[in-house]
Amino acid sequence: MKKKFKMQDLDCAHCAAKMEDGIKKIDGVKDATISFMAQKLTIEADDDRFEEIMAKVAKVCSKIEPDCKIVM
């Protein structure tokens, strides 16, 4: 399943790149891209574990940039 999410308070392109790298390492994630300019996350992951994976994605993002939120 491929989905797009809006991101709030993503302040830094470097942080976006670090988040993208961290998200790609999560088991079940097939691909992920974060556009700093558009403030969007595009993720492709296993359908049956999507909610579990998104919880891990949120943890990765908040570790790198605590104020950043993924609008689900």
Q: Which residues of the chain have pLDDT under 70?
A: none
What phi, psi does 63 have (nearest 5°)?
-70, -40
The residue whose two tokens read 């574990």 is 49
| pLDDT the model gives residue 72 | 83
Domain residue limits at 28: 2-71
Handedness of CA 6, 63, 43, 49 (dihedral sign): negative
Give 56's Cβ-side CA count (13 Å radius): 16
| pLDDT the model gives residue 22 | 98
What is this structure's pTM? 0.93
pLDDT digit string, tens, across residues 14-34? 999 999 999 999 999 999 999
Average pLDDT across the chain, whole number:
96
- Counting the structural domains of the chain, the total is 1
| pLDDT the model gives residue 7 | 97
* Domain harbouring 66, CATH code: 3.30.70.100
Left if phi > 0, otherwise alpha if psi is -120 to 50, otherwise beta: which for 34?
A: beta
